[in-house]
Amino acid sequence: MSATAARPPAATEVDQWLERFGAALERGDAAGAAELFAEDSYWRDLVAFTWNIKTVEGRAEIADMLEQTLARVQPQGWHATEEPTTADGVTDAWIEFETAVGRGKGHLRLISGQAWTLLTVLDELTGHEQGLGPRRPKGVAHGANPERQTWLEDRAREAEELGHTIQPYVVIVGGGQGGIALGARLRQLRVPTIIVERNQRPGDSWRNRYKSLCLHDPVWYDHLPYVKFPPNWPVFSPKDKIADWLEMYTRVMEINYWGSTTAKSAAYDEDAGEWVLVVDREGEEITLRPKQLVLATGMSGRPYTPEFAGVDQFQGDQHHSSAHPGPDAYRGKRAVVIGSNNSAHDICAALWEHGADVTMVQRSSTHVVRSDTLMDIALSGLYSEQAVAAGMTTEKADLTFASLPYRIMAGLQVPVYEQIREHDADFYARLEAAGFQHDWGEDGSGLFMKYLRRASGYYIDVGASELVANGQIKLQPGQVDHLAEDAVVMADGTELPADLVVYATGYSSMNGAVADLISQDVADKVGKVWGLGSDTTKDPGPWEGEQRNMWKPTQQEGLWFHGGNLHQSRHYSLYLALQLKARAEGIDTPVYGLQEVHHTR
Ligand SMILES: Cc1cc2nc3c(=O)[nH]c(=O)nc-3n(C[C@H](O)[C@H](O)[C@H](O)COP(=O)(O)OP(=O)(O)OC[C@H]3O[C@@H](n4cnc5c(N)ncnc54)[C@H](O)[C@@H]3O)c2cc1C
């Protein structure tokens, strides 16, 4: 664009674009609509057009998606909901639209009058809205009624019937924060649902973790759907406090939660179109027959422990980090923690605080970001007290985040981590001088991309790095060869004397939960869970553009995955709940672009 060319005001630019776009869609002109996008462009759709979570890239893919969905979706009424803004040549707009079955929201970025990114999300199904705000339940039927049932009686009856004389439409296996958030969404959508959870009480998956654990993400990022943390809630929730919150939440959100219940086996009955799910509820075997089965068994649900020779010879205590009881019993003892990511650092620091002699075994490089810096530089625009003061709501922050297609997200993250690198240059220099192998992700895109790609390989520093830098936590690089009676022996022969060995070696994919509960065949059919296909370590290509299998239809009919951190669990639970509700109501839900399976685990 020449320096003198007058750029139309952002609002006019957006209105004109939406008008042309809406008109092309209304006349069924997929190619014409795609022409309104830049050559290098992205349309991310959460359920509204595709009944899927799908990003299409470039005009040809956009046209294809529209050709296959437009006649059914019948989108209309495109308009901006607030004054668009322009910065650095990019015009940003919040938008709304309607489809044949629901109401949608979205976000648009225009460059030189062409769409660079478009996000469309289904927000509600017409006629099946959530009972919120003006639609809230009355809670009482005024008048006189000899058959009157109280709220408590209704709840008791529901608990007696559901799963016994009435089958739930959905069963969620796993009642951690993921299962609970989805359960709350489905409750508002009036989808009969049971959560089965092996632990006794909601929140136990946090309670059972090592005692020093506090969330690494700040409170603004962590709200659950519908019920926000109060303003006095600490920035970083201690694990037992968040557990109590989840327990309270489960109760007040009226979730049908079967604690002390283990899902033992599940098989899909093709003829009946439903699952045969066998659970053990406090010793009683019950068979449930839901139409939809959601696995919310946790990204960190299946501990992974490498098989080292000599573990049966070792005379001290040894356990995976998920089973670490905390440091109290190890005062004055020699502890070797194998691993150098979040859990390893937290456990090492707590052991050091309790007077143990601690060695961290670093087997591969780790990305470290100081918590304060991460909050200031990476999160503060969307999730912080300043963001709240500037009018940023959690919903808007989540949609802003969702509006960035994964293909471009890594590139946008690189400058953020360059800034962090500069900001904390002394810190990184000291860490590396201590021998700590540090990386920024293979393309320099830092922590969040590592999380999305492989959910491992990083530490959000809340203090342990200082102990590593000053040598108070000893660092041992290299690979473990075997365990001796009283030591961990490294491949180069170095012996690390040990009374305690902690395997902070991570977790295996949720795909394994499918194999455990259903079958290896179904696990292979569904494929790897998590990752984007970025062709980086632990996230092999080809590029898939969305997180594998999460919150969207899978290759196994009626099988879904839910989870992720509190932010993802909050945000994506809505779109998964809407997909389930639509099926419960018999709405036609043809899936565009069902993901292919490239990796089995
Ligand atoms: C040390 C550590 C620190 C973390 N810090 C953060 C953080 O700061 N912020 C954040 O957002 N996330 C954090 N996470 C990630 C954390 O795991 C998840 O955010 C959270 O636990 C995910 O919730 P979830 O419900 O998906 O899984 P989980 O909490 O793991 O819940 C899964 C549940 O499924 C149950 N289950 C599994 N199989 C069965 C079965 N067959 N039958 C019945 N029940 C079953 C399990 O008992 C478990 O309760 C951390 C994880 C770890 C390990």
Write out pLDDT tens, residues 114-157. 999 999 999 999 999 999 999 999 999 899 999 999 999 999 99
CA distance 7 to 317: 69
Model confidence, pTM = 0.96
Name the pairing type of β-strands 367-370 and 458-461.
parallel
Predicted local confidence at residue 509, as pLDDT? 83
Nearest CA to ligand 1 atom 41: 263
At residue 6, the pLDDT reads 53
- 14-40: pLDDT as tens digits: 999 999 999 999 999 999 999 999 999
Ligand 1 contact, 242 CB (< 6 A): no
How far does the centroid of ligand 1 lie from the alpha carbon of residue 205, in Å?
Answer: 6
Edge-to-edge, what's the strand order for the sheet holding 474-477? Answer: 317-320, 500-503, 334-338, 357-362, 474-477
Compute, in angstroms, the gap from residue 253 CA to the centroid of ligand 1: 20
Q: Which residue has the higher pLDDT, 141 or 277?
A: 277
Q: Tell how far CA 333 is from the center of its chain.
A: 37
Residue with tokens 């980090």: 321
pLDDT range class, residue 7, cuts 50, 70, 90? very low
Work out the mean pLDDT of the chain and round it to a whole number.
96
Asked if residue 542 has a cis previous peptide bond (ω within 30° of 0), the answer is yes
Which pair of tokens denotes residue 591?
């899936």
Selection from 441, 376, 456 nearest residue 410 by Cα: 441
Model pLDDT for residues 356-406, shown as the tens digit of each residue? 999 999 999 999 999 999 999 999 999 999 999 999 999 999 999 999 999
CB atoms within 10 A of CB 19: 12
Tokens of residue 544, six digits = 């898939």
303 Cα–ligand 1 center, Å? 11
pLDDT at 220 over 80: yes
**Does any ligand 1 atom lie closer than 6 A to the CB of residue 203?**
no
Q: Take atom 31 of ligand 1 and give the residue whose Cα is closest.
A: 176
Beta strand residue intervals within 198-281, DSSP E: 257-258, 261-269, 274-281
Structure tokens at 458: 């990083």
* C-beta 553 within 6 A of ligand 1: no
* Ligand 1 pocket member 566 (CB < 6 A): yes
Ligand 1 mean position, distance from CA 404 (Å):
26
φ/ψ of residue 195, rounded to 5: -100, 130
Q: Which residues of 34-60 are buried (b: 16+ CB within 10 A; e: fewer)?
A: bebbbeebbbbbbbbbbbbbbbbbebe
Asked whether the beta carbons of 482 and 494 are under 8 A apart, the reply is no
Distance, in Å, from the CA atom of 291 to the CA atom of 514, rounded to the nearest integer, reads 17
Q: Specify the ligand 1 atom closest to the Cα of 178.
A: 25
* DSSP string for residues in 476-519: EES-EEEEETTEEEETTS-EEE-SEEEE---B--THHHHHHHT-
In degrees rounded to 5, what are phi and psi of residue 557? -55, 135
Ligand 1 atom at shortest distance from the alpha carbon of 199 = 47
Q: How many CB atoms lie within 10 A of CB 128?
A: 17
Collapsed DSSP state (helix, strand, coil) of residue 127: coil
For the segment 33-61, the average pLDDT, to the nearest whole number, is: 98
